[in-house]
Amino acid sequence: MKLPVTLCCLGIALICSPAMAYQCSVAVTPLSFGMVEGRSGQVTRSTATLTVVCQSDSAVTVSYQLLSDTFSLNERTMVGGNGAASYQLYTSGSYQQVWGDTAGSAISDSYTLAANTSQTRVYTVYARMQPGLKVGPGQYTSISAVRLIY
**Domain segments of the chain as ranges:** 21-149
pLDDT at 15 over 80: no
What's 43's DSSP letter? -
pTM: 0.79
Residues 31-75 have pLDDT tens digits of 999 887 655 677 899 999 999 999 999 999 999 999 998 766 678
Tens digits of per-residue pLDDT, 93-149? Answer: 999 999 988 888 899 999 999 999 999 999 999 999 887 777 778 888 998 889 999
Alpha-helix runs per DSSP H in the chain: 2-15
pLDDT at residue 36, as a whole number = 73
Task: State phi, psi for 123 to the nearest 5 degrees.
Answer: -125, 150
Q: How confident is the model at residue 12, as a pLDDT?
A: 35
pLDDT at 30: 93
Answer CATH for 21-149 from 3.30.565.10, 2.60.40.1090, 2.40.170.20, 3.30.110.60:
2.60.40.1090
From its phi and psi, is residue 121 left (phi > 0), alpha (psi between -120 and 50) or beta? Answer: beta
For the cut 60, the answer to whether the pLDDT of residue 2 exceeds it is no
Are 85 and 141 in contact by the 8 Å Cβ rule? The answer is no
Is the pLDDT at 14 greater than 60, yes or no? no
pLDDT in tens, 17-28: 345 689 999 999
pLDDT score recorded for residue 17: 37
Nearest-5° angle of CA 90, CA 121, CA 149? 70
